[in-house]
Chain A
Amino acid sequence: MIEVRWHGRGGQGAVTSVELLALAAIEEGKYAQGFPAFGPERRGAPVMAYNRISEKPIKIRSGIYHPDVVVVLDPSLIGLVNVTDGLKPGGLLVINTAKPAKDLRDKLKYTGNLATVDATHIAREELGVPIANTTMIGAVLKATKVLKFESLDAPIEERFGRIAARNKKALKRAYDNVKIAK
């Protein structure tokens, strides 16, 4: 079972990301959970959302404290929120950033596996808005190989309708361009 924690700000679609990932996993016949850190809606506030994905039925319903993967949708959260809290040794950190990986390693004092992509830039170009949530799913898929790339097709079509094609393009660009450094 893989446990993923997403960091974002309210309104940036972190909850949508976990939903799409969960739906895609379930489409593949896997078992999955997708849930937000429960609370009143707060646009702009740091929020967290979670996924569990497994080949077997998932019985744990508590929160996730030792994620295998941490995804940071908004780099301005680094320094504000302890994004690497609880990340398992050997785990993976995926960050949306325009900066080189080394800068982030220095800032976070992090030596583990790191995947970076400028998802905001991709989102601006493909979607016209700096909302990087679907884009980042592409980076997560490439870095973790947790699901087949095609499994996201149906959930994105269902959710985004008219703009599904653009979201898929953004996702593919992140998938192709994410830099993974061990």
Chain B
Amino acid sequence: MNELIHGGLYGGMIVGVLMTTTAMALWFERKFAARMQSRLGPTMVGPSGLLQPFADVVKLLQKEDIVPFQADRVLFNLAPPLGAIAAISVAAVIPFSADIIAADLDVGVLYLLAIGALGVLPVFIAGWGSNNKFALLGGMRALAQSVSYEVPLVLAALVPVILTGSMKLSAIVEFQATHHWLVVWPFFLGVPAFIIFMLAMLAEANRIPFDIPEAESELVAGITTEYTGIKFALFYMAEYVHTLVASAVGAALFLGGWDGPFAPGLGWMVAKTLALFGFVYWLRWTLLRFRSDQLMALCWRYLVPAGVVLVAASAVWVVWVG
């Protein structure tokens, strides 16, 4: 019972914080991109346009909810909440600090990989249920992409698991706090694994340069073509939450999580997450988009072999050296 209250409390807190952070992340991204493009970005709603995301949400809530003709109503309506749930659920195992973990599962890494993989389902459901060819193409691409990138993602996530000997996220961070961050030592394993992990996470979260499932210049809006109002908002939010959570997981697995001098653990974790998150957007507003077959080639030709080698090397390292 006590555990339930604890979980519920932290869960509620984390969801609330995540939502607010997502809204702020939206604002941050828009300002960030605007400065890169020699614009000012939102300036009107609130100081420096800070309230713009909330205005957007209000606007989206007011929009008419349209279900396309002959769409599969059940699937069509199911996809957006499922997407949001899948994205938020991952946050349950993120160790924000030594004390703030909603559910410190013993198989935390397994959990986040499993739930993360669930994220492709709503995307494909939306693509199928919309009765739209662009959405279908988007769903098709998303499926191929996510299933492929699941492999390097798992391989890269295995490296910290092998090196630290635990699947518990708090234990992984604890190990890094007492030894070294994995990107520091052994860096020849940690850094490539970190890069592969982040690339695969980007692909899972459909961010540029891997955002081909909703490549709006090719597929209008891909899977979200037919969605309006709050359903679209849920998809949109799920994407941001996914990126945010991916950054947090990357920070926890490779960058030492809450570990850091001078500041409290939560501060370090948030700083690392936001830094990764910012980098993702930095890439997004700089790079162009891959073609889907090039994306597959990148995955199967480079990332998967590299991941296999890394896993093997980690095992060797643990057995013979560490």
- Binding between chains A and B: no
Which residues of B are in contact with A by a Cβ distance under 8 Å?
A: none
